[in-house]
């Protein structure tokens, strides 16, 4: 008699870092997010890495531009939750927190020949889901991407 097999618990990886509310801080957030994903087995140039880089760039840029409060930083938090078996889907959750609660992001209506205001349209199009939650000080804008692990190679 064999014992029933238990499902493998999901693999969870996290990255959290604070950055200055500047364009340089936003660029660094994107770069470190891509490095972390690479360390987690998601190489640059893959769809997940490209989408995550785009979302982090947009959310961090918004935090540095619209969520800026003198002397305060913004925070990037990434959580990669993998499924228990190699063929199950997982979730990559990206969170950017800034100290301003009064400026809530929203998808703006299309403005003919507008040079700005497309960022959250990109987030809305790329992310599986996204939203905003209040914090004690400020807010967190989050976005999620679904992941699907590639099937394991035969013999592994």
User: Which domains can be identified in the chain, with CATH numbers?
Assistant: 12-103+117-148 (3.30.565.10)
- pLDDT score of 35: 96
When pLDDT is cut at 50, 70 and 90, the band that residue 151 belongs to is: very low
pLDDT one-digit tens code per residue, 23-70 = 999 999 999 999 999 999 899 999 999 999 999 999 999 999 887 777
pLDDT higher than threshold 90 for residue 1: no
pLDDT one-digit tens code per residue, 84-129 = 555 567 899 999 999 887 766 655 566 555 555 567 888 989 999 9
What is the rounded CA–CA span in Å between residue 80 and residue 114? 35
Which carries the bigger pLDDT value, residue 3 or residue 133? 133
Give the chain's mean pLDDT: 82
**Sign of the four-CA dihedral 137, 81, 39, 132:** negative
| Helical residues (DSSP H) of 10-154, grouped into ranges | 23-39, 47-66, 119-126
What is the rounded CA–CA span in Å between residue 38 and residue 137? 32
Q: What is the pTM of this model?
A: 0.80
- pLDDT score of 27: 97
Which carries the bigger pLDDT value, residue 67 or residue 10? 67
Q: Which 3 state secondary structure label does DSSP give 131? A: strand
């Amino acid at each position: 008699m064999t014992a029933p097999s238990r499902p493998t618990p999901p693999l969870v990886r996290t990255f959290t870092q604070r950055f200055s509310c500047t364009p340089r801080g936003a660029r660094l957030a994107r770069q470190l997010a891509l490095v972390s994903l690479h360390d987690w087995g998601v190489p640059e140039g893959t769809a997940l890495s490209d989408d995550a880089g785009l979302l982090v760039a947009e959310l961090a840029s918004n935090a540095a531009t619209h969520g800026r409060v003198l002397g305060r930083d913004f925070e990037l938090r990434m959580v990669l939750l993998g499924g228990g078996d190699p063929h199950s889907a997982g979730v990559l959750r990206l969170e950017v927190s800034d100290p301003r609660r009064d400026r809530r992001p929203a998808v703006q209506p299309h403005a003919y020949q507008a040079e700005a205001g497309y960022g959250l349209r990109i987030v809305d199009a790329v992310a599986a889901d996204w939203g905003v939650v209040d914090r004690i000080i400020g807010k967190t804008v989050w976005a999620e991407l679904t992941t699907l692990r590639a099937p394991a190679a035969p013999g592994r």
